[in-house]
Amino acid sequence: MTANPTGNPERFEPVFCTIVPPFVLDTLAQNQDPALAGPARRTLQRDAFERTQRRLTTVIGAPSVAAPKGAEEGKPHRTIHDAKHRTDLPGRKVRGEGDKAGKDATVNRAYDGLGATFEVFFKHFARDSIDGGGLPLNATVHYGEDYGNAFWNGEQMVFGDGDREIFLDFTIPVDVIGHELTHGVVQYTANLTYFGQPGALNESMADVFGSLIKQYTLGQTAADADWLIGAGLLAERVTGTALRSMKAPGTAYDDDVLGKDPQPATMDDYVRTGRDNGGVHINSGIPNHAFYLLAQTLGGHAWERAGQIWYAVLTGGELAQDASFTDFAKLTVAAARAKYGDGEELKAVLDAWAQVKVPAT
């Protein structure tokens, strides 16, 4: 993939996106317990290597991946590979599209999660795979030794098994799968720069649609959902419920080893930092919370109205790569008005941004 399908190849800026923020792994890597520090250090080293590989792809280009010949529109084309705890990608193919489930629960979860993500985007947003053109969905499981992360590398999904001390298998939360694949959708649409506020919007988009995919698979309304990202991923010893909370940013964990969830809910507590690509995983709590507030106000299934507004902005062609929170908020106001007129949807959008103190007009 060497060009952004918006028709502006010069805008294409592939990035390496992980679900676990680097500052969390940094904290673990400094722990005195080798059982915690060792896996975290190895994970950081692998992330650094994969990030470098992703930058090389920008320079030399990656091969295009087209829909398979004879592929039916609206049907996923999934392939799951097993790295067998090595780091060569993609690994050995263990399940293809239409193959029956096997004995490996990790393989089955990855397959089902890719399918759920495809279904949500096609059924509710009329998007045929993450590129809109039937892109095959490839994933690798059992990556690395105690690898404590999951990532989208611009071409495929990769899942670690975790260290079982802090992190469990990264295929357990379906929203992790949806989150990382949504980075692919962002890559093929607005291609938001992965730094500062546009980077936080990139992460927030992934959280929003990851959460919608989870809610869809569970049949939940906005009121039913827990709005947690990565629930079920943290091991029993960790004092926390997830990696992030869209409902209450800053409350997902408060642990002796991990520290406290640093996400702010409003611009009053916006974090200015050079770490984490300018706080992309930290300040994403602000637009995350705005979406949660909007979905709660509108009620029903969050993908029906709130999700439609966000998706319209992501794919509408007006969202700049370097968009700020205010830029994005103003576009959501315009999208709400265009789709629903001056009714409750527009008021709910304005109120949501006002509550997180982002100017939207």
The CATH number covering residue 226 comes to 1.10.390.10
My answer on whether 43 and 178 are in the same domain is yes
Instruction: Examine residue 1 and state whether it is found in any structural domain, yes or no.
Output: no
| 301-323 average pLDDT score | 98
Choice between 138 and 10, residue whose per-residue pLDDT is larger: 138
pLDDT tens for each residue of 220-261: 999 999 999 999 999 999 999 999 999 999 999 999 999 999
Confidence bin at 55 (pLDDT 50/70/90): low
Domain end marker among 141, 167, 188:
188
Instruction: Examine residue 93 and state whether it is found in any structural domain, yes or no.
Output: yes
Instruction: Examine residue 282 and state whether it is found in any structural domain, yes or no.
Output: yes
The DSSP annotation for 34-63 comes to HHHHHHHHHHHHHHHHHHHHHHHHHHH---
Structural domain count of the chain: 2
Instruction: Examine residue 197 and state whether it is found in any structural domain, yes or no.
Output: no
Instruction: Examine residue 108 and state whether it is found in any structural domain, yes or no.
Output: yes
Domain end marker among 171, 188, 205:
188
Instruction: Examine residue 32 and state whether it is found in any structural domain, yes or no.
Output: yes
My answer on whether 57 and 175 are in the same domain is yes
Report yes or no: 117 and 213 within 8 Å, Cβ to Cβ: yes
- Domain extent, residue 236, equals 217-355
Q: Which residues are catalytically annotated?
A: 180, 281
CATH number of the domain where residue 130 is located: 3.10.170.10
Q: Which of 235, 356, 341 lies closest to 289, judged by CA?
A: 356
Q: How many CB atoms lie within 10 A of CB 217?
A: 18
Burial class (CB in 10 A: 0-12, 13-18, 19+), 255: middle
**Residue the block writes with tokens 């103190």:** 357
My answer on whether 126 and 233 are in the same domain is no
Question: What pLDDT does residue 72 have?
Answer: 75
Cα distances from 114 to residues 37, 76, 136, 173, 291, in angstroms, run 31, 8, 10, 12, 23
Model pTM score: 0.93
